[in-house]
Amino acid sequence: MSEPYDQMMADNTDVGETVRRLLPDRLDQNEKNSFEFIWEYQARPQQLPPPGEWRIWMIMAGRGFGKTRSGAEWVRMIADENPDARIALVSSSLAEARAVMVEGESGLMAICRPGHKPHFEPSLHRIRFENGAQAQLFSAAEPESLRGPQHSHAWCDEIGKWPLSHERATRCWDNLLLGLRLGRDPRITVTTTPRAVPLVQRLIKLAASGEVAVTRGSTLDNTEHLAARFMESIASEFSGTQLARQEIDGELLEDIEGALWTRSLLEHAREYGAVPQALRVVVAVDPPASTGGDECGIIVAALGADGIGRVLADCSISGAAPAAWAQRVAEASREWNADRVVAEANQGGAMVESVLRAADQALPVKLVHASRGKIARAEPVAALYAAGRVRHVGMFAMLEDQLCGLLVGGSYAGPGRSPDRADALVWALSELMLGKSGQPRVLRFD
């Protein structure tokens, strides 16, 4: 590039605007035909590598910010400049590395202009660039696969989702660092949504030393390139929650001191995809004290054949009359084929049962009475999480905000006046895992 361009990069000025002004007169026709593939022209300043002697560049931003495109373009840039580059591409699984980092809409194959795309060898998990540079795919679920291989650079995607059991995420990272010993200036780019997991927190602490350069950003920074339906979806899923700060604003949430549940604990419990067959399914209800008062907490949970309790759905409803929340319970019971509907009866047990029966006479209702406060009931359930015996199948923003607001000692510091969703979850998991019905049993299959 030209000297003005180099100076612009050094001064860290508005890259996009300056490139738009300088480039058109400096391109031949072939380059103009490939204009849409010139990343420096399209990128926002936050999507370009920051100046400085950083060893790790971490883009920690909300969903849809353009993190994947930034990581892929950085890899392409490294490969173009260095034929000897040996680049590790690490994701939570090999399937995700291929689907997102390589073949995704913002992956390596998509960002390279026609006629200059690298050669992907799926059976070898390897990408070969025209000039000899290579990139190898790795799974964070297999930390030992990074023990031995040497690299000059690495792109690590969504480290907040890397497997946490048996410290696989941190072991994978450490093995990667030990193998990053080729070339004169080994570097890593990390693209992730902020999650309160040990590896993300570790990199944040290193940022103070200058070893890690952190770029933060919001989903809203990239609105012009995002589908309206996507924006509506994330607004619906996260609006009004603390998790909106994480998933949209790209902020790393801090835990409340003394909380029974922490963000890190919930991330350890996160699970996606197919789950084992359920032995029992319950719908738990924490009814509101008055019509139009607090939320009606409605949680669906199951006990799997593997002995793990799983939170399947949060069907809670706000500001609803008794008939409306009872109908929601009946719908959840039918949808999930529930074996039991557990309802707290402290606020008028006969009324609660009659309202539920009016919605569906066949509902398998069981009334439970709270002899202890919410926090006391929650403590044994929190212990199940700490023991790794509970999973969340997906993300439940409002429920998880409430869980992280329950404090040791009996107080509540979460959103809303009362943790109704969290209380329903406690009833559900207590029914499945802490009562007689939650005890292990031997099943006979003929």
Cβ partners under 8 Å of residue 165, min gap 6: 268, 388
Same domain, 185 and 281: no
In this structure, is residue 182 part of a structural domain?
Answer: yes
Identify whether the C-beta of residue 22 lies closer than 8 Å to the C-beta of residue 2.
yes
In this structure, is residue 165 part of a structural domain?
Answer: yes
Same domain, 234 and 283: no
Q: Between the CA of residue 172 and those of 141, 195, 235, 348, what are the distances in Å?
A: 8, 17, 34, 54
Identify whether the C-beta of residue 111 lies closer than 8 Å to the C-beta of residue 39.
yes
In this structure, is residue 258 part of a structural domain?
Answer: no
Same domain, 108 and 181: yes
pLDDT at 374: 76
**Per DSSP, what are the bridge partners of residue 298?**
285
Same domain, 238 and 120: yes
Would you call 300 helix, strand, or coil by DSSP?
strand
- Half-sphere exposure in the Cβ direction for 401 (13 Å, CA): 20
In this structure, is residue 18 part of a structural domain?
Answer: no
Residue for token pair 């002697």: 53
Domain's final residue, options 181, 213, 244: 244
- Half-sphere exposure in the Cβ direction for 365 (13 Å, CA): 24
In terms of residue numbers, what domain contains 326? 263-438
How many folded domains does the chain comprise? 2
Same domain, 214 and 67: yes
pLDDT at 304: 96
Same domain, 76 and 215: yes
pLDDT at 107: 96
Residue for token pair 């007689």: 436
pLDDT at 18: 63
Same domain, 158 and 305: no
Cα-flanking dihedrals φ and ψ of residue 246, to 5°?
A: -85, -55
Q: For residue 310, what is the DSSP state?
A: E
CB burial of 100-121 (b: ≥16 within 10 Å; e: otherwise) equals bbbebebbbbebbeeeeebebe
Same domain, 94 and 215: yes
Domain's final residue, options 244, 276, 303: 244
CATH number at residue 288: 3.30.420.240
Domain's final residue, options 244, 275, 296: 244
In this structure, is residue 22 part of a structural domain?
Answer: no
- Half-sphere exposure in the Cβ direction for 295 (13 Å, CA): 22
Identify whether the C-beta of residue 121 lies closer than 8 Å to the C-beta of residue 102.
no
Query: What gap in Å lies between CA 228 and CA 250, rounded to an integer?
Result: 20
Same domain, 348 and 237: no
In this structure, is residue 29 part of a structural domain?
Answer: no
Identify whether the C-beta of residue 255 lies closer than 8 Å to the C-beta of residue 413.
no
Does this model's pTM top 0.75? no
Same domain, 274 and 388: yes
pLDDT at 224: 85
In this structure, is residue 188 part of a structural domain?
Answer: yes
Same domain, 332 and 223: no
CATH number at residue 104: 3.40.50.300
Cβ partners under 8 Å of residue 30, min gap 6: none
pLDDT at 426: 96
Query: What gap in Å lies between CA 39 and CA 112, rounded to an integer?
Result: 10
Helix (H) / strand (E) element for 377: namely: helix 374-386
- Half-sphere exposure in the Cβ direction for 275 (13 Å, CA): 22
In this structure, is residue 274 part of a structural domain?
Answer: yes
What are 21's two structure tokens?
């002004």
pLDDT at 5: 39
pLDDT at 442: 40
* Tens-binned pLDDT, residue by residue, of the chain (446 aa): 344 434 444 554 455 566 566 666 666 666 666 666 778 878 899 999 999 899 999 999 998 999 999 999 999 999 999 999 999 999 999 999 999 999 999 999 999 888 889 999 999 999 999 999 999 999 999 999 999 899 999 999 999 889 887 889 999 999 999 999 999 999 999 999 998 888 999 999 999 888 999 999 999 888 888 888 888 888 777 877 877 888 888 888 888 888 999 998 998 899 888 889 999 999 999 998 766 567 899 999 999 999 999 999 999 999 899 999 999 999 999 999 999 999 988 765 678 889 999 999 889 999 988 777 777 889 999 999 999 999 999 999 999 999 999 998 778 888 888 899 999 999 999 999 997 544 444 434 34
Same domain, 216 and 280: no
